[in-house]
């Protein structure tokens, strides 16, 4: 996927042996994942049904799951299966093998947060089924840590962007519309703001968490820069030298008004800070 393939490449580049696991779902065109995995050893199976084999494995980066906050309706079963059920198997197998897991959670667990920037001890109040399943995964991880000694670190991602971004994500859609000269469907007024995080910074956060984080830690991973959707569109228009024809639509259910990452904890514990501005 978008983040996992780049994390895998970074690990291989420094001499690690990496095995990727992906079920190549049809959430978006599987050929994009085929391209991402062209130079990697990828095992294809369904984590919700099959057991991982962790002999000889030193650590697991668990980024697999069903993404997207627009997760209401019949698709919710996919989120339960691909997030909760799959994660339970990963946590159970890793606990039995004594292998650390770095789990990719999401800022979506905060929902409309009580405070901004949002620290990790903020009460989670997710407003999308996706956010609910991600929070459920965190609770599962905690349960396996308490009852079976799972060594787990949780990273809460804030709006990652960059090369190989999923085609359904906002910035990828803007770039595509600019490249094609097509109109762009803007959900809401465009003043919703996000802590945009460049994917390469997310990769270094994952590696730092695997190597240095105390077991049981939870960290926000955010770019340190907040921008509205209209700000991001204006930046891309300036870079491309083109203007975008905006078609305004109602705000999407499950889409929060604002995210803003307080990264004090990860800066203090791991010495990590985002280095790439929007």
3-state secondary structure of 241: coil
Contact predicate 86/48, CB 8 Å? yes
Contact predicate 264/219, CB 8 Å? no
**Cα–Cα dist 271/273, whole Å:** 7
Question: Alpha helix locations (H) across the chain?
Answer: 2-13, 30-36, 76-79, 86-97, 129-148, 170-180, 199-212, 229-240, 264-270
Whether 110 sits among the annotated catalytic residues: the reply is no
Contact predicate 272/205, CB 8 Å? yes
Q: What is the CA radius of gyration of the chain?
A: 18
- Select from 201, 195, 137, 203 the least CA-distant residue to 1: 203
**Cα–Cα dist 42/187, whole Å:** 36
Out of 130, 144, 157, 198, the active site residue is: 130
How many Å is the maximal CA-CA distance in the chain? 56
Catalytic residues: 130
């Amino acid at each position: 996927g978008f983040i996992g393939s780049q994390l895998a490449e970074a690990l291989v580049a420094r001499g690690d042996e990496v095995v990727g696991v992906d079920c190549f779902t049809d959430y978006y065109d599987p050929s994009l994942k085929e391209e991402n995995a062209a130079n990697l050893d990828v095992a294809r199976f369904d984590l919700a049904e099959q057991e991982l084999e962790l002999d000889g494995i030193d650590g697991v980066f668990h980024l697999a799951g069903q993404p997207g906050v627009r997760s209401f309706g019949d698709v919710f079963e996919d989120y339960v299966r691909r997030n909760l059920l799959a994660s339970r198997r990963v946590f159970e197998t890793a606990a039995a093998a004594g292998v650390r897991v770095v789990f990719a959670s999401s800022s979506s667990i905060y929902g409309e947060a009580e405070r901004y920037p949002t620290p990790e001890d903020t009460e989670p109040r997710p407003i999308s089924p996706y956010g609910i399943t991600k929070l459920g995964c965190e609770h599962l991880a905690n349960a396996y840590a308490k009852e079976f000694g799972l060594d787990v670190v949780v990273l809460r991602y804030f709006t990652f962007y960059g090369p190989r971004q999923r085609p359904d994500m906002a910035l990828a859609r803007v770039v595509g519309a600019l490249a094609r000269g097509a109109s762009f469907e803007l959900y809401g007024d465009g003043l919703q703001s996000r802590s945009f995080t460049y994917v390469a910074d997310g990769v270094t956060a994952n590696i730092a968490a695997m190597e240095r984080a105390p077991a049981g830690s939870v960290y926000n991973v955010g770019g340190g820069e907040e921008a509205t959707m209209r700000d991001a569109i204006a930046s891309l228009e300036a870079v491309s030298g083109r203007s975008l024809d905006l078609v305004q639509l109602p705000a999407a259910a499950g889409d929060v008004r604002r995210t803003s990452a307080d990264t004090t904890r990860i800066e203090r514990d791991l010495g990590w800070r985002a280095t790439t501005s929007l």
